[in-house]
């Protein structure tokens, strides 16, 4: 079966760095997406990785290792507004998005 695993919840301190991991087992791979979802709102697109390596976009970076079925989202210089759920989603061989359950990130002052 297809499976996406990410931690349910994480806590970090304002100004710090946090890494949210995602491991996946899917039938084929056509890329991995990270989305941010604030409570009561729709998801917003953060990043897309299809090749191995690190993609940096401002305070956010996303890493992919296809051989390990592993990705992480790295958030630097955390701000209170970064408190949200972070969703990992993998596109399988049929270009269907398989969604993880999301990681709720709590930022403390």
Partner 1 sequence: GAVVSQHPSRVICKSGTSVKIECRSLDFQATTMFWYRQFPKKSLMLMATSNEGSKATYEQGVEKDKFLINHASLTLSTLTVTSAHPEDSSFYICSARVLQENQPQHFGDGTRLSIL
Residues that bind partner 1 (CB under 8 A): 30-31, 33, 40-45, 48, 50, 87, 91, 95, 97, 99-102
When the beta carbons of 15 and 28 are compared against partner 1, the nearer one is 28
* Cα gap 56→28, rounded to integer Å: 25
The pairing of beta strand 9-13 with beta strand 103-108: parallel
Q: What is the DSSP string of 36-77?
A: EE-TTS--EEEEEE-SSEEEEETTEEEEEETTTTEEEEEE-S
Taking the least distance from each CB to partner 1, the nearer of 16 and 45 is 45
* CA angle 19–41–27, rounded 5-degree value: 55
Using the minimum distance from each CB to partner 1, give the nearer residue, 7 or 31: 31
Smallest gap from Cβ 2 to partner 1, in A, equals: 12
In the complex, the smallest distance separating the C-beta of residue 80 from partner 1, rounded to whole angstroms, is 20
Q: Please state the closest distance from residue 107 (CB atom) to partner 1, in A.
A: 18
């Amino acid at each position: 079966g297809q499976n996406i695993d990410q931690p349910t919840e994480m806590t970090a301190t304002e100004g710090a760095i946090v890494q949210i991991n995602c491991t996946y087992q899917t039938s084929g791979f056509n890329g991995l997406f990270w989305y941010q979802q604030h409570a009561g709102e729709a998801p917003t697109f953060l990043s897309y990785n299809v090749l191995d390596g690190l993609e940096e976009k401002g305070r956010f970076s996303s890493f992919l290792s296809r051989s390990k079925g592993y990705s992480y989202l790295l958030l630097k210089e955390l701000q209170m507004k970064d408190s949200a759920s972070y969703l990992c989603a993998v596109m399988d061989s049929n270009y269907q998005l398989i969604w993880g359950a999301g990681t709720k990130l709590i930022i403390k002052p």
